[in-house]
């Protein structure tokens, strides 16, 4: 493996490993860890990272970046990465999303499982601890119940450059706060009637430090804890606790959480420290030092792509696409169905790197990574996407009968990587009639055109013969003209086959040609549905300020054609990648391929970058 370029996240980890910052860390407290700990084994995790999705939608390409960063760093430094469902919000979560997230992380090639512990972590498993932490903050004088309305709280919080104002409830005694919090917990107060707030500083220049809410009342059934709780922790309070409980060392998140970092640190410090109360009791010490540290990196912004789960859900719900796994969707399930490979997405994450400032990545970069991966491993095949019939009029003369089929063979891969068993070659046949691309015949050719051109008379009155081209992997042919229907459209192209020119036979190159064209035999070609995808949006930044992304949809993002493919392609497995020679990379659709006995292929990416055009 090539040495990975360093970046600021790697430097932070290397620095911590060198200084032994987390050497005293003990076990994460998961069931699997407990078994190892009981056996007296040392903690194997030198670093612990986590990927903490909220199970309220499908993962997208931005999450893929975060997964590759967190799991990739843990792997590279002999650590562990936790998959954790951040399911503290009872209303929006669903097991459909949980399952799809598990699938997507696995498919990307990462594994969160540890011996004896194969379940992902769930934030909701820590609700009891979170509640105890809230009581602890109250007892130490760091939290209070506020009965102002949401609007009053919003207004009194102030604004940038304008300090906030203390709540009239701010100086309640710990005893009162504790009693009311317990009443909240026990369902004695209405939803929204009060919140528990951290008591920090209403004049802080950082608005997030102006007594943020940490618990709210919400009568909602939670997918894990059912109706046990009527109060739920706020995300910004829950998140540092989740990290600390799982003994995360490095908590990497996107830049929008930078302003939350002081609160993240505040929560952990308050729960690590021990405080002696006037009555002599000691509170605190719920967590141990050193706390996990939060570091932010820039989120992925990809041109022509939306990475907001809410907006992606809108595309699905308003039937702008055919579901979360529509091949035009930037979801991991969509990319997979489009033909993306885990290797291409991992390479993409490496290539874009991690930075501290937001920028836009060109969609072509993602496509380039797929092309590079498939170039080496996608089997080749011929497909005619816009077929017109070519008739070889001298076939019986040369081969004795119009019905004769001549077998052809071509390698599945032009270059077999060293150490790899070459895949079985492709077999197909050429006969009197073959399908070619309509654009491969031109009666009046544009300058430089090298494909099929009929005989003509040049400016000096001399006869010019029809052009000679090779049917790729087959014979050289000479064009003799075309037959048109009443409307003037070409119904078939005519040519003669030149004997003894079959590819791979001795002397086959004695006739020089300017071009080779792709084709499929009429006798053994198979009809296939081919879905030609283009970018979903017409605008490079459909999600940028003020624009309505639904107005910017590309009306031609999907074109379905009936193509003819060579027989080897009809045997494709669902999800198998191919290069259709000269057209691009295609994948047999994971869902629909061969469902009605018809092959179905999706365009993954063209052979060349077309985004700059
Ligand atoms: P959305 O805003 O689309 O709902 P989210 O950030 O709320 O996304 P989460 O499920 O909370 O989604 O995300 C899990 C992790 O993935 C977080 O750590 C988040 O920072 C990261 N992540 C989300 N979007 C991106 C992105 N575009 N680039 C990099 N990381 C991302
Ligand atoms: Mg989120
Ligand atoms: Mg979000």
Note the pLDDT tens digit of each residue in 410-453: 999 999 988 989 999 999 999 999 999 999 999 999 999 999 99
Number of the ligand closest to the Cα of 311:
1
Contact between residue 601 and residue 588 where contact means Cβ atoms under 8 Å apart: yes
Q: Whose CA is nearest to atom 9 of ligand 1?
A: 53
Q: Which atom of ligand 1 is nearest to the CA of 67?
A: 16
What local confidence, expressed as pLDDT, does residue 612 receive? 45
Residue 583 and residue 445 share a domain? no
Residue 212 and residue 82 share a domain? yes
290: preceding bond cis by omega (within 30 degrees): yes
User: Kind and range of the H or E element at 586?
Assistant: strand 584-588
Q: Residue 286 falls within a domain, yes or no? A: yes
Q: Residue 50 falls within a domain, yes or no? A: yes
**How far, in Å, from the CA of 104 to the mean position of ligand 1?**
14
Q: Residue 92 falls within a domain, yes or no? A: yes
Q: How far apart are CA 28 and CA 75, in angstroms?
A: 18
Q: Whose CA is nearest to atom 7 of ligand 1?
A: 54
241, two tokens:
């606790």
Q: Residue 350 falls within a domain, yes or no? A: yes
Q: Of 461, 496, 517, which closes a domain?
A: 517
Residue 144 and residue 284 share a domain? yes
User: Kind and range of the H or E element at 137?
Assistant: helix 127-139
Q: Name every protein residue with a CB atom under 6 angstroms from any ligand 1 atom.
A: 52-54, 62-63, 65-66, 253-254, 299-300, 307-309
How many angstroms separate the Cα of 257 from the Cα of each of 296, 304, 363, 417, 439?
A: 7, 25, 25, 44, 53
Neighbours of ion ligand 2 (CB under 5 A): 54
Pocket test for ligand 1, best of 50, 52, 53, 294 (most atoms within 8 A of CB): 53
**How far, in Å, from the CA of 309 to the mean position of ligand 2?**
9
Q: Whose CA is nearest to atom 15 of ligand 1?
A: 53
DSSP string, 460-525: TS-EEPPPEEEETTS-EEEEEEEEE-TTS-EEEEEEEEPTT--TTSTTTTSS--S-EE-EEETTT-
User: Which residue of the set 50, 197, 261, 309 is catalytic?
Assistant: 309
**How far, in Å, from the CA of 307 to the mean position of ligand 3?**
10
Q: Residue 60 falls within a domain, yes or no? A: yes
Q: What is the value of pTM for the model shown? A: 0.93
**How far, in Å, from the CA of 89 to the mean position of ligand 3?**
12
Active site residue 309: yes
Residue 49 and residue 121 share a domain? yes
Q: Residue 94 falls within a domain, yes or no? A: yes
CA atoms within 13 A on the CB side of 545: 0
Q: Which atom of ligand 1 is nearest to the CA of 309?
A: 3
Residue 420 and residue 287 share a domain? no
Residue 555 and residue 453 share a domain? no
Q: Residue 425 falls within a domain, yes or no? A: yes
Residue 599 and residue 508 share a domain? no
Residue 178 and residue 66 share a domain? yes
Annotated binding site: 54-56, 86, 235, 254, 299-300
How many structural domains compose the chain?
3
What local confidence, expressed as pLDDT, does residue 118 receive? 78
Q: Whose CA is nearest to atom 2 of ligand 1?
A: 308
Q: Residue 303 falls within a domain, yes or no? A: no
Active site residue 375: no
Residue 191 and residue 223 share a domain? yes
Three-state DSSP class for 293? strand
What local confidence, expressed as pLDDT, does residue 80 receive? 86
Contact between residue 574 and residue 591 where contact means Cβ atoms under 8 Å apart: yes
Q: Of 473, 490, 517, which closes a domain?
A: 517
In the DSSP assignment, the letter for residue 108 is: T
Active site residue 343: no
Pocket test for ligand 1, best of 62, 238, 298 (most atoms within 8 A of CB): 62
Q: How far apart are CA 328 and CA 534, in angstroms?
A: 8
Percent share of the chain, pLDDT over 90: 84
**CA 370, 375, 380, 382 torsion: positive or negative?**
positive
What local confidence, expressed as pLDDT, does residue 505 receive? 92
Q: Of 517, 538, 568, which closes a domain?
A: 517
Q: Whose CA is nearest to atom 14 of ligand 1?
A: 53
Number of the ligand closest to the Cα of 309:
1
What local confidence, expressed as pLDDT, does residue 104 receive? 97
Task: Tell me the CATH number at 502.
Answer: 2.40.240.10
User: Which residue of the set 299, 320, 438, 450 is catalytic?
Assistant: 299
**How far, in Å, from the CA of 208 to the mean position of ligand 3?**
17
Q: How many CB atoms lie within 10 A of CB 519?
A: 28
Annotated binding site for L-glutamine: 86, 235
Three-state DSSP class for 373? helix
Q: How far apart are CA 104 and CA 120, in angstroms?
A: 13
What local confidence, expressed as pLDDT, does residue 331 receive? 98
What local confidence, expressed as pLDDT, does residue 202 receive? 98
What local confidence, expressed as pLDDT, does residue 36 receive? 54
**How far, in Å, from the CA of 353 to the mean position of ligand 1?**
17
Number of the ligand closest to the Cα of 257:
1
**How far, in Å, from the CA of 302 to the mean position of ligand 2?**
18
Task: Tell me the CATH number at 256.
Answer: 3.40.50.620
Domain with 200 in it: 8-297
pLDDT digits (tens, 9 = 90+) for 366-381: 999 999 999 999 999 9
Positions of the chain with pLDDT lower than 70, given as ranges:
1-3, 24-45, 93, 115-117, 609-613
pLDDT digits (tens, 9 = 90+) for 545-554: 788 999 999 9
Residue 164 and residue 43 share a domain? yes
Residue 126 and residue 105 share a domain? yes
Q: Whose CA is nearest to atom 12 of ligand 1?
A: 53
How many angstroms separate the Cα of 382 from the Cα of each of 279, 420, 436, 440, 539?
A: 84, 23, 10, 14, 33
Number of the ligand closest to the Cα of 358:
1
Residue 390 and residue 376 share a domain? no
């Amino acid at each position: 493996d090539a040495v990975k370029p360093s970046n600021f996240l790697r430097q932070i980890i290397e620095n911590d490993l060198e200084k032994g910052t987390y050497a005293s860390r003990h076990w994460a407290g998961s069931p699997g860890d407990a078994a190892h700990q009981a056996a007296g084994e040392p903690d194997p995790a030198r670093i612990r990272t986590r990927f903490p999705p909220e199970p309220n939608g499908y993962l997208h390409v931005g999450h893929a970046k975060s997964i590759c960063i967190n799991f990739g760093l843990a792997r590279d430094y002999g650590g562990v990465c936790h998959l954790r469902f951040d399911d503290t919000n009872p209303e929006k979560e669903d097991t459909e999303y949980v399952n799809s997230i598990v699938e997507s992380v696995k498919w990307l090639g990462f594994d969160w499982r540890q011996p004896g512990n194969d379940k992902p972590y769930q934030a909701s498993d820590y609700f009891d601890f979170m509640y105890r932490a809230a009581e602890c903050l109250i007892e130490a004088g760091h939290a209070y119940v506020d009965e102002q309305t949401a609007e009053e709280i919003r207004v009194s919080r102030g604004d940038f450059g304008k300090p906030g104002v203390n709540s009239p409830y701010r100086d309640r005694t710990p005893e009162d706060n504790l009693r009311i919090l317990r009443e909240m917990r026990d369902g004695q107060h209405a939803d929204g009637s009060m919140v528990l707030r951290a008591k920090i500083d209403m004049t802080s220049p950082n608005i997030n430090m102006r007594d943020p809410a940490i618990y709210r009342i919400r009568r909602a059934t939670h997918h894990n804890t059912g109706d046990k709780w009527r109060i739920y922790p706020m995300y910004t309070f829950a998140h540092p606790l989740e990290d600390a409980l799982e003994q995360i060392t490095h908590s990497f998140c996107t830049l929008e959480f930078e302003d939350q970092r002081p609160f993240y640190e505040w929560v952990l410090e308050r729960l690590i420290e021990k405080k002696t109360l006037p009555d002599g009791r000691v509170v605190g010490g719920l967590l141990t030092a050193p706390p996990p540290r939060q570091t932010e990196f820039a989120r992925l912004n990809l041109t022509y792509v939306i990475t907001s789960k809410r907006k992606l859900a809108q595309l699905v719900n308003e039937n702008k696409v055919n579901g979360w796994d529509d091949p035009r969707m930037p979801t991991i399930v969509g990319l997979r169905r489009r033909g993306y490979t885990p290797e291409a997405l991992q390479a993409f994450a490496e290539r874009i790197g991690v930075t501290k400032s937001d920028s836009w990545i060109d969609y072509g970069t993602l496509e380039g990574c797929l092309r590079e991966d498939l170039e080496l491993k996608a089997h080749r095949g011929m497909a005619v996407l816009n077929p017109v019939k070519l008739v070889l009029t001298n076939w019986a003369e040369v081969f004795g009968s119009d019905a004769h089929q001549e077998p052809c063979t071509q390698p599945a891969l032009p270059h077999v990587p060293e150490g790899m068993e070459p895949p079985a070659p492709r077999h197909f046949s050429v006969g009197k009639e073959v399908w070619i691309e309509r654009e491969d015949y031109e009666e009046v050719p544009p300058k430089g055109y090298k494909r099929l051109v009929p005989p003509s008379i040049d400016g000096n009155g001399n006869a010019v013969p029809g052009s000679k081209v090779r049917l790729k992997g087959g014979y050289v042919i000479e064009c003799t003209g075309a037959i048109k229907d009443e409307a003037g459209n070409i119904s078939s192209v005519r040519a003669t086959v030149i004997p003894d020119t079959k590819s791979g036979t001795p002397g086959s190159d004695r006739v020089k040609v300017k071009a080779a064209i792709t084709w499929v035999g009429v006798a053994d070609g198979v009809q296939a549905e081919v879905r030609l995808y283009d970018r979903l949006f017409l605008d490079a930044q459909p999600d940028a300020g003020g624009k309505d992304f639904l107005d910017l949809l590309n009306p031609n993002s999907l074109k379905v054609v009936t193509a003819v493919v060579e027989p080897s392609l009809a045997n494709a497995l669902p999800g198998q990648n191919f290069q259709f020679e000269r057209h691009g990379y295609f994948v047999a659709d994971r869902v629909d391929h061969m469902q009605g006995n018809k092959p179905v292929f999706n365009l993954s990416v063209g052979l060349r970058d077309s985004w700059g055009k």
